[in-house]
């Protein structure tokens, strides 16, 4: 019983000591890159490539290849476009069709 209590006390003091310890610059970078990769929901080889370039300090790591938009995300983006809010009927249908195909710049005629 005493041994278990002593062991728990040692663990508690070790974790308190670890909390006071300063991280090295490399550890700080690792923590930051890991948080960025998690926020981007990167997995597998994509995550490895991102982490490698991020840890090297490459500024291009922030511009890791984005996942293609889902159809639902495209619909949301096209509906949020100010042009879509101004159009009605066939003009809106034409705009939405072009926007969903990815050529929104030429989709809507100017008013």
Give the C-alpha separation, 67 to 108, whole Å.
Answer: 26
What token pair was written down for 13? 């003091």
Residue 64 backbone class (left: φ over 0; alpha: ψ -120 to 50; beta: rest): beta
Q: What is the pLDDT of residues 64-91, one digit of tens each?
A: 455 677 888 888 888 888 777 788 899 8
Q: Give me the number of domains the chain comprises.
A: 2
Q: Which domain holds residue 10?
A: 2-63
Residues 59 and 6 in one domain: yes
Q: What is the pLDDT of residues 27-60, one digit of tens each?
A: 888 888 888 888 888 888 888 888 888 888 775 5
Residues 59 and 84 in one domain: no
**111 falls within a domain:** no
Give the C-alpha separation, 45 to 32, whole Å.
Answer: 19
- Confidence (pLDDT) at 8: 58
**30 falls within a domain:** yes
Give the C-alpha separation, 59 to 53, whole Å.
Answer: 8
Residues 47 and 99 in one domain: no
**86 falls within a domain:** yes
Residues 91 and 54 in one domain: no
């Amino acid at each position: 019983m005493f041994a278990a209590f002593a062991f728990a006390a040692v663990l508690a003091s070790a974790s308190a000591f670890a909390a006071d310890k300063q991280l090295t610059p490399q550890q700080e970078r690792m923590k930051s890159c890991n948080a960025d990769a998690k926020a981007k929901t990167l997995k597998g080889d994509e995550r490895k490539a991102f982490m490698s370039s991020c840890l090297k300090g490459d500024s291009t790591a922030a511009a890791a290849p984005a996942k293609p938009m889902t159809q639902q995300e495209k619909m949301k983006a096209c509906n949020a476009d100010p042009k879509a809010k101004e159009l009605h009927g066939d003009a809106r249908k034409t705009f939405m069709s072009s926007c969903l195909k990815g050529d929104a710049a030429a989709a809507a005629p100017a008013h």
